[in-house]
Amino acid sequence: MIRFVLLVVMAATGMAWGADPVSAVDAEADAAAAAEIAAAPGLSEPPLLDPPDSETAADRTAEIAGGLRCPVCQGLSVSDSNADAARAMHDRIAELVSQGYTEEQIVDYFVGRYGAWVRLEPPREGLNWLIWVGPVVLFVLGAGLVARQVGGQEPAPAAVDAPAPRPVASPSGGGTDYRGRVLAELGEAGRSAEGPTRALEPASDPRARILAELGRADGSES
């Protein structure tokens, strides 16, 4: 059994270099595996079914062989491989089917000899469900994350045009209107003073400032 496992590992290692799964099988390893399968004892338990007719037996054999892995090939089922070990395994499957053994009994027989690896697809039970459901869950989570990232981006606010500055009236372009506004401001400044007799500093007296501005306006009009 150990020799068979080593031969299988050697065959799989040789296929990893990109060779064809069947042509890369070592002939000696293939012959050893085929001989071991042919010499292996049958099932100790009795069959659960009556022996089927030839047509039913052929259908059951093809279905079971399509779900079991060739022991010396990489990724090929017993039905798809031309290796001697695959043909010997196919013959053993046909023999067990003709005796009335069920698919479950035959698969368990090969799993007991070679391990769960002999199944092309892991059974959908227990933790093996993660193998089937895991990729779907990851895809859904990834799609949701991408949709959330794309949908969460708010459009940039449109640029708001700043209001145009209001033109400042020039003293030279106002004429009489400007003088009227200045005189009006002069009157308001006089009313806002604390007293008619209070002396203010020229720098802080609004009346003096307005009079000076009025003088500049008169000079610009002349």
Task: Give the mean pLDDT of 136-160.
Answer: 68
Among 39, 12, 40, 46, smallest CA distance to 26 is for 12
Q: Residue 125 pLDDT > 60, yes or no?
A: no
Digit-coded pLDDT (tens) for 62-104 = 999 999 999 998 889 999 999 999 999 999 999 999 999 999 9
Residue-level pLDDT at 146: 75
Side-chain half-sphere CA neighbours of 145 within 13 A = 6
User: pTM for this structure?
Assistant: 0.49
List, for residues 3-17, the tens digit of each pLDDT value: 444 444 444 444 443
pLDDT of residue 121: 86
For residue 150, the model assigns a pLDDT of 77
Token pair belonging to 38: 């042919």
- Residue 191 has a pLDDT of 59
Site of tokens 């959330």: 148
**Mean pLDDT value across residues 204-221:** 66
Residue 67 buriedness (CB in 10 A; 0-12 / 13-18 / 19+): middle
Cα–Cα distance, 123 to 212 (Å, whole number): 102
Which has more pLDDT, 177 or 149? Answer: 149
Distance CA 59, CA 63 (A): 6
Closest CA to 62 of 42, 77, 50, 47: 77
Q: What tokens were used for 84?
A: 């001697």
Q: What is the 3-state secondary structure (H, E, C) of the chain?
A: CHHHHHHHHHHHHHHCCCCCCCCCCCHHHHHHHHHHHHHCCCCCCCCCCCCCCHHHHHHHHHHHHHHEECCCCCCCECCCCCCHHHHHHHHHHHHHHHCCCCHHHHHHHHHHHHCHHHECCCCCCHHHHHHHHHHHHHHHHHHHHHHHHHHCCCCCCCCCCCCCCCCCCCHHHHCHHHHHHHHHHHHHHHHHCCCCCCCCCCCCCHHHHHHHHHHHHHHHHC
**Token pair listed for 159:** 């640029």
Amino acid at residue number 98: S
